[in-house]
Amino acid sequence: MPAATVDAHDPRWTDAGRRWTERVAGALADLASPDRTGPVVVEHIGSTAVPGLAAKPIIDLQVRVAPLPSEAEVDAALGPLGFSIERGARPDSPGVYRDVPRPRADPAPELYAKRLLTRPGDDDEPPVILHVRRLDSPFAAYVVAFRDWLRAVPAEAAAYEATKRDLAARHADADDYDDYTRDKTAFLDAAQSRMERWLAERANAPA
């Protein structure tokens, strides 16, 4: 999937996220069968899931499932919807075959294995990136918490937007997302403690 510019927020991203969440959940319904150990959870994540936040016009979705399905399983289920399995540009491409543990998270390697699929856009739909992660993935929990934090704290969303615009301009001619992803991690690392304080305050707030 080629690099994309960071665009002003488009309210239609919310509807696209909802449509693709429903379509993917339907296609993966068999993975919630009794021989598995939990539900299939499909979520709209990333910047397009944060109202008002500028973003690359690509819908990010996350699937949480236990155990992690094989490439053959996800290809059979999602290929008919136009998804294909992504291959990293490098052996260590971040976020393709596994996620990079966040600070203070459980570092057990098996928790971070994943499948990454993409669907190109067309006249009616934006492109979609689909992250398939284990149900117990700490990184899966992190991306949902990060989304919710940006939704709740506009100043942090604005700072994140400014960072992404700068990085997108710097990496505009890149052939893949690796350098952009690595540089964006520096902002995420700096913001981690602020997000954790927000999570703690929310957990301790009166019901």
pLDDT at residue number 109: 96
The third-level CATH classification (topology) of the domain covering 11-204 is Beta Polymerase; domain 2 (3.30.460)
Give the pairing type, strands 84-85 and 114-119: antiparallel
Q: What pLDDT is recorded for position 157?
A: 97
1 vs 136: which has the higher pLDDT? 136
Give the chain's end-to-end CA distance (angstroms, integer): 44
* Average pLDDT score over residue span 84-102: 85
Q: What is the pLDDT of residue 117?
A: 97
Residue type, 146: F
Phi, psi of 157 (to 5 degrees): -60, -40
Q: Which two tokens stand for residue 77?
A: 């289920």
pLDDT at 4: 67
More confident residue, 200 or 30: 200
Annotate 14-40 with b (16+ C-beta within 10 A) or e (fewer).
Answer: bebbeebbebbbebbeebeeeeeeeeb
Domain locations in the chain? 11-204
Quote the pLDDT of residue 199. 96
The confidence score (pLDDT) of residue 34 equals 74
Under the banding of pLDDT at 50, 70 and 90, the label for residue 18 is very high
pTM of model > 0.85: yes
Q: Pairing mode, if any, of strands 114-119 and 128-134?
A: antiparallel
pLDDT value of position 114: 96
| pLDDT greater than 90 at residue 14 | yes
What per-residue confidence (pLDDT) applies to 3?
56
- Tell me the percentage of the chain whose pLDDT exceeds 90: 73
Q: Region 113-126: what's the mean pLDDT?
A: 94
Q: Which of 85-99, 116-130, 147-161 has the lowest mean pLDDT?
A: 85-99
Least confident among 73-77, 122-126, 138-142, 172-176:
172-176
- Spatial neighbors of 187 by CB under 8 A, at least 6 apart, are 159, 160, 163
Where is 84: in which H helix or E strand? strand 84-85
